């Protein structure tokens, strides 16, 4: 039964009872012996009782009405509470979905980080294996010299055991096996070096610094070889050449390695921080991309650009290092020019589509996660110089914007390392070989 209706019925019953009681009291027979005073008193009491009963009935009816209103208000509050619970449930569901999406992205990023860490660990293990192999090669050569009493000059750079050669990692580019190539050049701060690469199987490999032989080795059956020069490389810049002989045929490597060995740190200046060596493989014909085989590293730098090469037409080749497996976006003057991935050794390179006209540009490289968030960034200006015209020794060269002594020497003599010839012939104009100015006129000396 409806509770408001019940209260109304109860109120009506109370009113009826009060009315009946009032009627009975008013018409009750008075005993003969009662005095008039008693009747008057009893009648007044009955009237008061009836009036009180009516008041109580009205209060009961008002209480019933308020109770009904309270019940309605409670029902409305209950409905609002149900609606609020539904809204809360929907909100919690959406929050849970958003949280799940965030957790999924975080899990994907964590998986990528784990994969990159594993790749870095594998690369580090490979590097340590190569270093151990080189050390074994040195120990084996020293043991052979001690046992056989060979003269140092006759054993310079003897081949390491097959294990050492096999430990040398291959270059990313797949060169023709018969053509000798450099894969590894590691130079310590004291000038000691380990050099490795590929050539024709069982060919005789010779490594030269300029015109001087610094070591030779015999390639194994896989065509891999390792040379450890007896003497440390001299301080300063020099060019390493490579050739391989099989029978009567001798092939020269199409690339040379330009190395810059830092000055030795004397005990008196031991407080000065020693510098690392630089080794860059450059094509002898002036075309193609350079490869940085060793470069000074900046601590805690996650991404770096090692080289920006361009040919006469303006085709760019950009290379550098980043965490293994890292995703890199490249921009030229804030215009996207391509994306690439770092390999297991942390090396990356990109050859963008299209050509770049001569001028000054800003190159930017972003290391990003799978969601596109930038993790590290490097940006710097670079100049794409106009083509240096073909020059001959004995001519004069007028410096154009973007020119360098290296490029002028490469166009004149066929080797950038001979920039020092131009520098020596024009010392009165050149204060710093790394700093020349448009409009300067340099004599190009003839070289024997």
For 151-264+276-284, the fitting CATH number among 2.60.120.620, 3.40.50.300, 3.30.420.40, 2.60.40.10 is 2.60.40.10
Q: Mean per-residue pLDDT for 87-97? A: 78
Q: Helix (H, G, I), strand (E, B), or coil: what is residue 355?
A: coil
Average pLDDT over residues 23-43: 54
For the entire predicted model, the pTM comes to 0.45
Over 70: is that where the pLDDT of 32 sits? no
Average pLDDT of the residues in 200-219: 91
Angle between helices 36-148 and 3-26 (to 10 degrees): 160
The mean pLDDT of 202-211, rounded to a whole number, is: 91
Coil, strand or helix at 108: helix
Report whether 378 contacts 426 (CB < 8 A). no
Predicted confidence (pLDDT) per residue in 381-405, tens digit:
877 766 665 666 667 777 765 677 8
> Sheet harboring 304-310: ordered strands across?
304-310, 316-321, 347-350
Strand 291-294 versus strand 327-332 pairing type: unpaired
Mean residue pLDDT across the chain: 75
Supply the DSSP string of 13-62, one letter for each residue. Answer: HHHHHHHHHHHHHHTPPPPTT--HHHHHHHHHHHHHHHHHHHHHHHHHHH
- Which comes out higher in pLDDT, residue 57 or 259? 259
Whether 201 contacts 178, CB under 8 Å = no
Predicted confidence (pLDDT) at residue 23 exceeds the cutoff of 60: yes
Looking at 2.40.50.140, 3.30.360.10, 2.60.40.10, 3.90.1170.50, the CATH number of the domain 297-384 comes to 2.60.40.10
Report whether pLDDT(176) > 60: no
Spatial distance between the Cα atoms of 114 and 415, rounded to a whole number of angstroms: 44
Same fold, 297-384 and 396-443: no
Question: Does 396-443 carry CATH code 3.40.50.1220?
Answer: no
pLDDT over threshold 60, residue 239: yes
- Report the pLDDT value the prediction gives residue 15, as an integer from 0 to 100: 72
Instruction: Please check the confidence at residue 260 and state whether its pLDDT lies above 80.
Output: yes
Q: How far is CA 89 from CA 81, 97, 171, 326, 441, in A?
A: 12, 12, 59, 41, 81
pLDDT at 432: 76
Task: Give mean pLDDT, residues 103-115.
Answer: 72
The yes-or-no verdict on residue 165 having pLDDT over 50 is: no
Per-residue confidence (pLDDT) for residue 391, from 0 to 100 = 60
What are the residue boundaries of the structural domains of the chain, listed by start? 1-150, 151-264+276-284, 297-384, 396-443
Residues 303-357: tens digit of each pLDDT: 888 778 777 788 888 888 899 999 999 999 999 999 999 988 888 989 898 888 8
């Amino acid at each position: 039964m409806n509770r408001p209706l019940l209260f109304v019925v109860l109120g009506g019953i109370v009113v009826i009872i009060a009315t009946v009681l009032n009627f009975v009291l008013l018409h009750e027979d008075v005993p003969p012996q009662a005095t008039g005073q008693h009747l008057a008193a009893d009648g007044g009491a009955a009237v008061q009782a009836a009036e009180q009963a009516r008041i109580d009935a009205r209060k009961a009816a008002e209480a019933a009405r308020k109770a009904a209103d309270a019940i309605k208000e409670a029902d409305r509050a209950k409905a609002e509470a149900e609606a609020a619970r539904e809204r809360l449930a929907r909100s919690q569901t959406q929050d849970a979905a958003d949280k799940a999406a965030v957790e999924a992205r975080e899990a994907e990023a964590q998986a990528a980080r784990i994969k990159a860490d594993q790749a870095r660990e594998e690369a580090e293990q490979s590097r340590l294996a190569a270093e151990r192999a080189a050390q074994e090669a040195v120990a084996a050569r020293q043991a052979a010299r001690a046992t056989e009493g060979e003269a140092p000059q006759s054993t310079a750079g003897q081949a390491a055991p097959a294990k050492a050669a096999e430990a040398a990692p291959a270059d990313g580019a797949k060169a023709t096996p018969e053509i000798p190539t450099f894969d590894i050049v590691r130079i310590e701060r004291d000038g000691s070096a380990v050099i490795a690469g590929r050539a024709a199987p069982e060919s005789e490999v010779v490594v030269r610094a300029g015109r001087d032989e610094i070591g030779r080795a015999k390639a194994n059956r896989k065509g891999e070889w390792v040379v450890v020069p007896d003497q440390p490389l001299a301080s300063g810049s020099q060019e390493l050449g490579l050739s391989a002989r099989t029978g009567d045929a001798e092939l020269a490597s199409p690339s040379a390695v330009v190395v810059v060995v830092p000055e030795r740190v004397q005990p008196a200046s031991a407080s000065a921080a020693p510098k690392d060596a630089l080794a860059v493989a450059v094509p002898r014909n002036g075309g193609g991309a350079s490869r940085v085989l060793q470069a000074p590293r900046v601590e805690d730098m996650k991404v770096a650009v090692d080289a920006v090469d361009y040919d006469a037409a303006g085709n760019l080749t950009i290379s550098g290092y980043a965490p293994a497996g890292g995703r890199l976006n490249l921009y030229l003057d804030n215009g996207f020019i391509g994306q690439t991935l770092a390999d297991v050794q942390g090396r990356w390179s990109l050859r963008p589509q299209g050509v770049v006209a001569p001028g000054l540009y800003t190159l930017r490289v972003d290391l990003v996660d799978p969601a596109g968030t930038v993790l590290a960034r490097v940006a710097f200006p670079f100049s794409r110089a106009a083509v240096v015209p073909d020059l001959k020794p004995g001519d004069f060269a007028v410096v154009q914007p973007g020119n360098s002594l290296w490029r002028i020497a490469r166009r004149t003599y066929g080797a950038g390392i001979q920039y020092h010839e131009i520098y020596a012939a024009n010392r009165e104009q050149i204060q710093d070989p790394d700093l020349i100015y448009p409009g300067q006129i340099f004599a190009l000396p003839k070289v024997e």
